[in-house]
Amino acid sequence: IYKRRRVSEILEEVSNFKGKFWLRLLYTHPKFIDERLIKVIAENEKICKYIDLPIQHINDRLLNLMKRGISKCKIYELLENIRKNIPDVAIRSSVIVGFPTETDKDFKELLNFMKFARFERLGAFIYSLEENTAASKIKAQIPEKIKNERFNAVMEFQQAISKENNKRFLNKTIEVLIDEIDNDGAGYIGRTYADAPEVDGEVHVSSEKKLKKGEFAKVMITGSMEYDLKGEAL
């Protein structure tokens, strides 16, 4: 039944369930994010202001080879639209480096786009040849050495962006979902709305009172790192 309905409608319906919880939409192909979906995420308190937007690349020629069904121009427009209409949104994306025929110029274009997008979260992947796929039949495969160099460059580039982005939380009180007790017993580990489980950052929380797993806590952020935050529960 759900396959015949718009994602925005399903999100609205699920958000009507009773109780306090976060609803997070993950891994949404850019071409399926429309005005209605953006509006629903922006206006519903239970839906995390978080959009998982895997772009894979920004070069039009490579996007076409990947059969992504979306252009560079449309991706730029979509990002600007999301930022404009969802205040404090956290955008996660993923990119692929070393796709067959990717040139140094193509790779530089990707880095320049990352500088523009300033993704709050980003995952990078090295292209891996899979038999019987369209990409595996392309003769201009990229050497492994160059793939690894580009991967390291992307991760280093994003690390600096993430560190700067995290500073916006400093000295602010935010809601944190407690996931676990810290292994050394010194506190707790939780997540903000900007952190999906297992793939994004964490918040290391100290608290004078006992907290429970699954509990929402108000936390004053006292420190920020490349990917994680630390703070004190109020």
Q: How many residues does the chain have?
A: 234
Quickly tell me which residue has 């040139």 as its tokens. Answer: 103
Mean pLDDT of 96-114: 98
What confidence score (pLDDT) does residue 183 get?
A: 67
| Residue 204 predicted with pLDDT over 60 | yes
**Upper half-sphere CA count for residue 107 (Cβ side, 13 Å):** 22
Reported confidence tier of residue 2, pLDDT bands at 50, 70, 90: very low
Kindly report the average pLDDT of the chain as a whole number: 93
Bigger pLDDT: 90 vs 183: 90
Tell me the two tokens of residue 70.
Answer: 């979306």
What confidence score (pLDDT) does residue 184 get?
A: 65
Query: Rounded to the nearest 5°, which phi and psi values hold at 176?
Result: -125, 135
Give the burial class of 90: count Cβ atoms within 10 A of its Cβ; 0-12 exposed, 13-18 middle, 19 or more buried. buried
Query: Rounded to the nearest 5°, which phi and psi values hold at 135?
Result: -65, -30
In sequence order, the 6+-apart residues with CB closer than 8 A to the CB of 17 are: none
23-55 pLDDT per residue, tens: 999 999 999 899 999 999 999 999 999 999 999
Q: How far is CA 50 from CA 17, 54, 70, 91, in A?
A: 20, 13, 21, 6
